[in-house]
Chain A
Amino acid sequence: MALNGKLAVIDLSDRSVSIKEIPMSVRKRFLGGRGLDAYLLYNYTLPGSDPLGPSNVMIVSCGLLGGLLASSSGRCHIMARSPLTGFVGSSNIGGYFAPELRFAGFDHLVIRGRAAIPSYLWINDGRIEIRDAAHLWGKDVFETQAALEQELTDRAVQTLCIGPAGEKLVRFATVMTGFKNAAGRTGLGAVMGSKNLKAIVARGSGSLDIAHPEAALEYNRSINERILATKIAGTMQKWGTMFIYGGTNAIGFVRTNNFLSNQLEDGEGLEAENMEDVSVGHGACFGCQVHCRHRYVIKEGAYAGTYAEGPEYSSQGAFGSMVGCRDLNTVLACNHLVNRDGMDTLETGNMIAWAMELFEKGIITLADTDGIDLRFGNDEAVIEMVRRIAGRVGFGHILAEGPLRAAGVVGRGSEDYLIQIKGMSNLHSDERPTPALALGIATSSRGADHIRSRPGIDVYNLPLPTLERVYRDNPAPYAGPLVNRFDSYEGKAWMVLWQEHNYMAVDALGVCKFHTIFMSPNLPSFTEFSRMVELNTGLCLTPLQIWDAANRSYTLERMFNIREGLTRAHDMLPERYFTVPTPAGLPMAKGKSIDRDRFEGMLDEYYGLHEWDASGTPTPQLLERLGIGWEPTDVL
């Protein structure tokens, strides 16, 4: 069957490899991917482990549906204790690596210790070798992958690797595969770098047997047709996530000049339609028909002629509105640089935007920035700062430490200007007009984040029957209110919680969030997941069982964070969300701030729905019901 993949525990210190079965009982309770990773992280990591020390573990996985007939089953999940936040480090990456790992016989890798010399893992049809990577150290992401294909004389190998930023332990370094697929958030590339692990290469010829092949083929075809029939998928096929920018900026949902505005005036140059001039086509992840990835060649500037992939909506903000730049070429160049060197586009843009606001306010000066004129809108300065962060050069060395540590070094009240939660910076979205989205970023288990719990469809003010269909008793019972106004605080706690479970299920199954209820209410969720699992694997899990598994894993992430010092105070928005109204945008977005008391009330409601106490700690009754309290930790 498809679920024969093994767990490999790899100790880079003593160069040992231990291969274990994954019991079906564990799969049913945690599914796979991020779900089972949470279980492994909790049990394999000692409390207080140094995120950049050998005792931290890095877990790499495919989902329960990885590589199977599930519309887009190429997602890979990576987890560790984050060197950026100290809490759950967790990031999901597209491409083709996860299926190849599964073809090679493995579903989860637990990597611990630290290699004595730069190394890479070669995973090939059930065998795992720790190989010398001294010749790869110093190479960028693209060079590394090309060199490994050459060395292994196989163009079909799939590689996860770090670039120079990961080697230099930039605290928001990424793990990369291909030209732009990034495990971008929480600094997992630095964890890999700290282990002297340059790359993981997979190649497999194993078969993943489908439980019901004909029915699975037909169901996958019908699911794909349904996905592609949505407006969102059709738009993504042409413009990728860049399409979002035009609408959100027009309304006033786009954080601009760090946090000085919520709308970039004259920002048309950043809109997706401008990609027509540079695009050479689209790319897709494994099995995906949405193909949201632009492939482009930079036409102007220092990187003219360079081939790259992306950018995403996040880069439009990171190197556009947040830093006050209006030139798409700057976005394209910076997108290329962060992918080449292996850094999180969002954290990089946020660090530069923060420094720019400090500079404009006179809190830092040219003496701090090595003479770089960090005024908003200085395109060349932004590109230069990206290079300096990746190389940890001068002021870039400070920014490479991430928001809280950098503010600690700069001092002078600079922390007040960070737009971060739990030590991780936010997307360039401005959630002051949207309480549901604000609650989502405040409570996300990995820090400020838009793809952990965001009810993206809330901003559409959909007809109430549509919200009822999505959120009411699907599959878990809910008797509270649902309100189809994005400025309301009512019923939003449940929407955030529902999306949390949905995205956890998606990450545990190893499929893509663009194929579920995120930006469209008409995409698959628990009912369809249940059918996909049954047809592909033969495993019968009801929608409610999948919901419970997601809940179990999310609760474990919460428990991991609490073990590392998380309190209710960490589930909090930056102060300016409460005190500074939005200055721009349409009436629905202008003059908005989050009401502190109502936010606290929403947080209480959210904790209550989770069966967490007022401090945000899971209750003993919840742990008992989910079976976490008695879960044997030595089962794997």
Chain B
Amino acid sequence: MTEVLRIDAKSCTGCRLCEIVCSVKKTGSVNSARSRIRVVRLGGSSGYLPVVHRRDLAVIMAGDIGPGRATMFEEYRRTGLAQCDFCGGDPACAKACQAHALRYERCAQEEVG
């Protein structure tokens, strides 16, 4: 078993409190750019998507919607799982998210892949 953040994009309301608390917890300041998690506005009825991995952010935040971004969205939607350092087992983002778009859970290693 392993710990994961389970992301339910459909429940995300785009409030970005996860970004705020992550950056405050890690840096003592509010700064989305220094938050491990970022909320991406997908546009229109598609809603929002919390994204954890830094490697994906550059692609996401770019103006154009390229194939890399689309693939990554698909990956997030498929698994809904992400990993970070989890604030020592008490992830600030999941604790703050009252919309239950983020949950800290244990799951089988195979599910994470």
A interface residue numbers (CB < 8 A to B): 2, 67-69, 96, 99, 103, 149-150, 152-156, 205-210, 213, 216-217, 220-221, 224, 228, 280-289, 291, 295, 297, 307
Contacting residues, chain B, for A282 (C-beta < 8 A)? 13, 99
A205 touching B33, Cβ below 8 Å: yes
A217 touching B24, Cβ below 8 Å: yes
B interface residue numbers (CB < 8 A to A): 10, 13-17, 20-21, 23-25, 27-34, 40-41, 44-45, 47-48, 60-64, 92, 95-96, 98-99
Partner of B98, one of A153, A206, A217, A224: A224
B15 touching A103, Cβ below 8 Å: no
> Contacts A67-B30, A221-B96 hold; do A155 and B61 have CB atoms under 8 A apart?
yes
A208 touching B16, Cβ below 8 Å: no
Distance between A317 CB and nearest chain B CB, rounded to angstroms = 25
> Contacts A67-B30, A103-B31, A208-B29 hold; do A287 and B16 have CB atoms under 8 A apart?
yes
A295 touching B45, Cβ below 8 Å: yes
A280 touching B29, Cβ below 8 Å: no
Extra A-B contacts (6), CB below 8 Å, given A208-B31, A287-B15, A307-B44: A103-B31, A103-B32, A156-B61, A205-B33, A221-B95, A289-B17
B30 touching A281, Cβ below 8 Å: no
A289 touching B25, Cβ below 8 Å: no
Contacting residues, chain B, for A307 (C-beta < 8 A)? 44-45
Q: With CB as the reference atom, state the residue of chain B lying closest to A297.
A: B45
B95 touching A149, Cβ below 8 Å: no
A291 touching B30, Cβ below 8 Å: no
Q: With CB as the reference atom, state the residue of chain B lying closest to A280.
A: B45
Q: With CB as the reference atom, state the residue of chain A lying closest to B60.
A: A155
Contacting residues, chain A, for B27 (C-beta < 8 A)? 207
> Contacts A154-B63, A281-B47 hold; do A228 and B32 have CB atoms under 8 A apart?
no
Question: Please, how many angstroms separate the alpha-carbon atoms of A564 and B25 in the complex?
Answer: 49
Question: Please, how many angstroms separate the alpha-carbon atoms of A283 and B16 in the complex?
Answer: 11
Distance between B43 CB and nearest chain A CB, rounded to angstroms = 8
Q: With CB as the reference atom, state the residue of chain A lying closest to B21.
A: A217
Distance between B109 CB and nearest chain A CB, rounded to angstroms = 31
Contacting residues, chain B, for A289 (C-beta < 8 A)? 15, 17, 98-99
A155 touching B41, Cβ below 8 Å: yes
Question: Please, how many angstroms separate the alpha-carbon atoms of A150 and B27 in the complex?
Answer: 31
Contacting residues, chain B, for A287 (C-beta < 8 A)? 15-17, 20
Question: Please, how many angstroms separate the alpha-carbon atoms of A149 and B15 in the complex?
Answer: 19
Question: Please, how many angstroms separate the alpha-carbon atoms of A286 and B16 in the complex?
Answer: 6
Q: With CB as the reference atom, state the residue of chain A lying closest to B63.
A: A153
Contacting residues, chain A, for B40 (C-beta < 8 A)? 155
A206 touching B31, Cβ below 8 Å: yes
